[in-house]
Amino acid sequence: MRRVVVTGLGALSSYGQGVDTLWSNLLQNNSVLEPIPGHWDDYANYRSRVISPLPDFDYLASGFKRYELRSYDRVAMNAIVAAREAIEHAGFNLSLTRPKINGFSIDGQDPTRAGVYFGTGVGGVNSFIDNILHHYCYEPIKSIATHYGADEQYQNLHADLNRMVHPKRVDHFAVPRFMPNAPAAAVGIKMGTQGPAQNFSLACASGTAAIGRGYQDVRSGSVDLAITGGVEFLRDPAGSMFRGFDLAGTLMSGDDLPMDALNRPFDRKRSGFLFSEGGAASLILEEYEHAVARGAPIIPEICAYAETFDAHSIMSIEESGSQIRRLIQCVTADAGLSPADIDYVNAHGTGTTLNDEIESAAIESTFGNNVLVNSTKALLGHTIGASGAFEALVSVLSIAHQTTHCCRNLDEPIRDLNFVRTQDNHTIETAYSQSFAFGGHNCALLFARS
């Protein structure tokens, strides 16, 4: 089997654009939070009251054309932004070879030997919601407003109609904007790759699965270059996606702690995860000799990938943790290592009561109590389909810089593990990152210092 290395990274997060921005904020223990929009209370009562927003991004200033903004949902454009940063970080030059579609080619790269592997939990759900709202609301509201006019007797009706936020026109690109494969397709179109262009939708494990499948294709010889990552964009005008998670009881809440103390994975006072509007993270994977031949910056090596499945529940983690332990054994065995050889674990670490308990028990029983453990969700919140890609990226950076970020708000750990609670330097030769998902999907990656 061929060796596979990571040569480039890209990110668009709640902190803003760029890997450097992401990494510096993580090391400073920063988190971006704000109360849910006030108008959401017009539609429902919420148990959780906090989100981690994704900042608005100037796509036109970044080189997108107006017709691309019409063609793509923000989930696809965010994937392109992260992928482009990763490609350029890997030392590739991009040439505008198809100006009619604002499309590039990767200089010196055979396009048939390059693939795209991106994960997303729900794809262009923002466009889907907009389309549904227009379809259901526009004509009935117009008809009611016309019929009753400005009659004062119907003031309450008019007030209710004004709360029914909806687009004023139908989007002719609705289907390609919300189809789940759009992010992978958009990256492939923009970058001119002609190898596989695959989307992976495994809920919260989507990004990890995408990177893992890209790794497998490079290792097997199907491609020499894999543009991998995960992306999500969960903003909607009425908070319906947020409400779905809130009703499931998975989001953080509580009146006894300040807003910035509610997100606390692996802590005894945890109450759920911080809902993030999303983001995008991208990793460039290359066959080792391919990377060396062009003088690429080799960050770490990616050594193994594995998946297991709980076969238990569409929403709840299997309580014995047997498939998590098997996942750890599969990944380390594939790399020719044992769990004792792993220096650092980037845990799934959602902050939900059951998940953290089961995951921490599995880590303790397989890795022991000395391995470094943290949760990137303690700072970023849960970016759903992008989360595994962010956590893989953090694992790579932790090896590269021989340090990693803290577990924010971890005051009373639920288990005697070596949680990262202070900013410090560490010896990190190997890093393991795992993701679990609604449905019972478990995926993990293993990286090693090259």
Neighbours of 39 (CB within 10 A): 12
Give the tens place of pLDDT for each residue, 295-354. 999 999 999 999 999 999 999 999 999 999 999 999 999 999 999 999 999 999 999 999
Cβ proximity of 103 and 302 under 8 Å: no
Say whether both 155 and 206 belong to one domain.
no
Say whether both 268 and 394 belong to one domain.
yes
Say whether both 109 and 223 belong to one domain.
yes
Compute φ and ψ for 10, nearest 5 degrees. -150, 150
CATH label of the domain that carries residue 224: 3.40.47.10
Say whether both 302 and 274 belong to one domain.
yes
Say whether both 349 and 219 belong to one domain.
yes
Number of domains in the chain: 2
Say whether both 357 and 372 belong to one domain.
yes
For the stretch 133-168, what's the b/e string if a residue is b when 16 or more beta carbons lie within 10 angstroms of its beta carbon?
bbeeebeeeeeeeeeeeeeeebeeeeeebeebebbe
Say whether both 211 and 131 belong to one domain.
no
Q: What is the CA radius of gyration of the chain?
A: 22
Query: Which structural domain range is residue 135 located in?
Result: 125-175
Say whether both 169 and 134 belong to one domain.
yes
Neighbours of 101 (CB within 10 A): 13
Helices (H), 49-154: 66-71, 74-89, 125-148
Say whether both 171 and 236 belong to one domain.
no
Helices (H), 149-258: 155-163, 174-178, 182-191, 206-220, 240-247
For the stretch 244-260, what's the b/e string if a residue is b when 16 or more beta carbons lie within 10 angstroms of its beta carbon?
ebbeeebbbebeeeeee
Say whether both 171 and 214 belong to one domain.
no
Say whether both 437 and 347 belong to one domain.
yes
Q: Give the pLDDT of the chain (450 residues) as one tens digit per residue.
A: 899 999 999 999 999 999 999 999 999 999 999 999 998 998 899 999 999 999 999 999 999 999 999 899 999 999 999 999 999 999 999 999 999 999 999 999 999 999 999 999 998 777 666 666 655 565 566 666 666 655 555 555 555 555 556 555 666 676 777 788 999 999 999 999 999 999 999 999 999 999 999 999 999 999 999 999 999 999 988 898 999 999 999 999 998 899 999 999 999 999 999 999 999 999 999 999 999 999 999 999 999 999 999 999 999 999 999 999 999 999 999 999 999 999 999 999 999 999 999 999 999 999 999 999 999 999 999 999 999 999 999 999 999 999 999 999 999 999 999 999 998 999 999 999 999 999 999 999 999 998
Contacts of residue 191, defined as CB under 8 A and 6 or more positions apart, other chains included, come to 83, 84, 87, 94, 103, 104, 105, 106, 114, 116, 227
Contacts of residue 45, defined as CB under 8 A and 6 or more positions apart, other chains included, come to none
Say whether both 44 and 62 belong to one domain.
yes
